[in-house]
Structures are given as C-alpha cells and as structure tokens.
Structure 1
Amino acid sequence: MNSYVFAALVAAEKPLTPENVRPGWIAMVTVLALVVATYFLARSFLKHSRKAQEPWEGEDPTD
C-alpha cells in the first residue's frame, strides 16, 4: 500500500469540517521561528546600515 492509498483511506474515514480542523503545534513553532529569524535579520540590517553611514578612515566627516 503506497502513501496515496493510505492518505485516501484516512481522509475517507473522517471528513474535514471546521469543527475538527484546528491549527497545530507545528504551525505555531514555524511562525515563531520565522519571527525569530526576522528579528535577527532586522538587527543585522540595522548594524550594517549604521556602519555604512560612518566615514572612511582619513575622510573628513563634514563632507
């Protein structure tokens, strides 16, 4: 029995309705991981953008 037949048999037993379909832990963990990754990307971006605004060595900062 391949996975498609197995999935069809499982789906035939219990129809999907709004009452028995709920978001799971995997979705919550995925969203939290994306939030953490976005935080570190934003922090890195701000660090590099501040560094890019600094003048080069030997350059006059008032130019």
Structure 2
Amino acid sequence: MVLDGLASFGTLQSLPYKLDVEHVEEAMQNMLVIIEMVVFSVLQQYAYHVAPYSGEVEKMLKQNKKNE
C-alpha cells in the first residue's frame, strides 16, 4: 500500500532504462519480500532452536539416570 501511495504521489518515477512505474514498484516489492525472508529466517533460528531435535537432550537424560 505504501508503494502504491508513493507511485500515486509521483515519488516513484520511471527509470531511464525504459521501466515504467509499475515495474519499478513491483521490483521494490520483490526486494522488500527478499529482505523480509532473510530477517525472518535468522529470527526463526533463535525461536526454534535445533537442540531439542538433535538427540543431545535424550543423551543427557540417560546419562543422568545412570549416574543416579
């Protein structure tokens, strides 16, 4: 919606490479999606850590039972 608003106000203009405003707007939207996906992929590594699924937790629990 922001990109549509910028295009309607004339802030986004066509480039000298024969790209019209719609293509420039679409390219900017695609770049924003790419940046968003990179940021969310990094954040998901912290939100969903691999440790519970790696088997290390089960090994530690088994060792604790043997030591008791």
* TM-score interval, normalised by the smaller of the two chains: 0.3 to 0.5
Structure with greater Cα Rg? 1
With CA pairs under 8 Å and 6+ residues apart, which has the higher RCO, 1 or 2?
Answer: 2
The TM-score with structure 1 as length reference comes to: 0.45
Query: Normalized per residue, which structure has more helix?
Result: 2
The TM-score with structure 2 as length reference comes to: 0.43
